[in-house]
Structure 1
Amino acid sequence: MELPNTDRRIFFLAVNSGYTENGIPDSRFLEFYAARSGNGLYCAIVGNVAIPNGHGTNINTPKIEKLSIWEDIAKAISDKGALPGVQLSTTWLGYNGNKGFISKTPQEEISNYKRIASSFEQAQIRAQYQSLEEAAKIAIDCGFKHIQLHAAHGYFFNLLLDSRFSKHHQLAAELTQNWLANTIPDDIETSIRISTLTGAQQFDSIESSFIEDLTSLPFDYHDISEGFYNIDKKLIYPSLNEILTARIERTKNIALRNPNNSFIVSGKSFALSKAELPNNVHVGTCRDLIANPNFLQDQHNGCKNKMKCHYYSRGKSTLTCGLWK
């Protein structure tokens, strides 16, 4: 079972491994990415990295700082032949991720997200963009060549840029474009990860222009994801064939509506192998590479749905896999 058209660019999509000590990546972190950055991989995006003065998704979230370990990580990825990338993110003070996979009260969660987004003030927003600027500069100085803004899964930049949640979405779009124009050099790639669904079906069924708003932002790639972490994690980490197929079809439709943009479609190999993708869609993989560092060389041996990689939901502190010995 092989990924489609292997001449397409293949990304190792961002994952929060938990391999840190007080927010600082350790040797396990470096070894994890070094082992998975070869065999023709185009770009490895290190995730879910908190910006300075930002807030992580859990206590083991890495934070970007002026430390040599970040240079070592970028070099380890580059030495294996892949473009070193980093996903920059933040939540907010008091954020708490649910351990359950699907919320029993999705509409209440939507109301909670709206309440949180309404509390963001302009001074706080501008301060976070200043922190984002600092984070990007540190990452680039450390050797990262691809910068991704994490605006998915119900985190800060997701709520801020989504007109359904934030009254400041136009300001956020302006600040995002200014950040891209004034902070990111021309030789550095950019992407934005977005969630096209929250997982609250009633809310998702309401027509909105938010996808068009987000795909109009001038990133080099739009990395399409789904799900809000505190509503439906099965959309973020789809395993069933029908869920994966539907997700890929939605991504294809967005890409066909935006032929001048480049997109990253994500999903497991057994679903992607059957997909006929538009020319402007590249491939993102995560759990297959987690399970097997040499997956791109041996694509018959990927994720087997052991469900051990969801460490936070299992009450663990670091990433594991049921296939690892």
Structure 2
Amino acid sequence: MKYIGIVGVTVMLTCGPIASHGNPLQSDVPLLFGEAADLVIGDRDEGMVFGNATDIAVGSDGRIYLLDGGFGKIYIFSPDGELLGEFGRSGEGPGEFTIPMCIATDPESGDVWVGNFQGRLCQYTADGEVVDDIRFSWPGNRPVRSIAIGMHGNIYVSCANVLDQTMIHVFRKNGELVRSFGDTFARDRPETDTEDELAYATGFLDVRDSTVFYSQKNPYEIRQYDLSGNVRYTIRDSGQDVPYPPPVRMPDGRRKKRSLKGSWGIMALPDGAFMNNIVIPMSEHGPPGSIIEHYNSSGDLVLHEEHSTLLFVRAVDGEGRVWALDNQPYARMMRYPAPAD
């Protein structure tokens, strides 16, 4: 995959026609690096309504799994967008989840894994049959923000463990913890406390071959590790020098974290490159937006694109096509052609 230079594109959305299920780009569907979506799923007129399109995973057989965190369901689609089935439901029992946040598939078995807000992993077969649950052994809830299945079937999750101040945790499928690595933001920072840690130390990961890709939300930072947790390189945002802003104390004593520009997911590509999602917070200047960055396998930024909507790239299929989510003006999933070489 080759690009020449860094290209900045701003996509301004308007209230126009609604994109039909499976139809090409309409006026309110954003471009991705200049390419129009060739498939859009989530057309209210066609009856396919999502509560909150949260994450996407691609199965070993090419099927697409859409996690709907709003309705508490997982939808199965063919690579061409045909709805094949659905499974999952909200709850605390086996195979049930509370506030599901991420989804991944096992490239060997085809099993589907879902991570939720209460620090639990749910395992299903490729067709949605319940297999097992994994509950973390450390105290308290540790929201699972992202999950990936690596080599040898190990499960990689990102969630803040404030006890040892690590973010990335590797499990075997029986729930045994193999190792933890990846410093949280609060490590060696005496000015932070547990609430600060949980508010700012969110991070996201993806795994491909022998590499772990990790993006820290606030302050924005990207790291690449080998599977043992050794850092290969770190990319820091130019805004790192801004002083650390503590959460705001509300009149009733509760804390409210300040909304900073930060990462909201990272996606590995087949050639060692990766894409990173960044949220632009709401401000007095307008509603929230997003940035998608493309880095080559050496960690060099080659493309940077700003959007006035919350567009997030979430998965890449066997043909190199990119699957993305957009919850504005309503929840939908889009497929974009594979980036040109």
Please report the TM-score for the alignment, with normalisation by the length of structure 2: 0.31
Of Structure 1 and Structure 2, which has the larger fraction of its residues in strand? 2
Of Structure 1 and Structure 2, which has the larger fraction of its residues in helix? 1
Please report the TM-score for the alignment, with normalisation by the length of structure 1: 0.32
> Highest CA radius of gyration, 1 or 2?
2
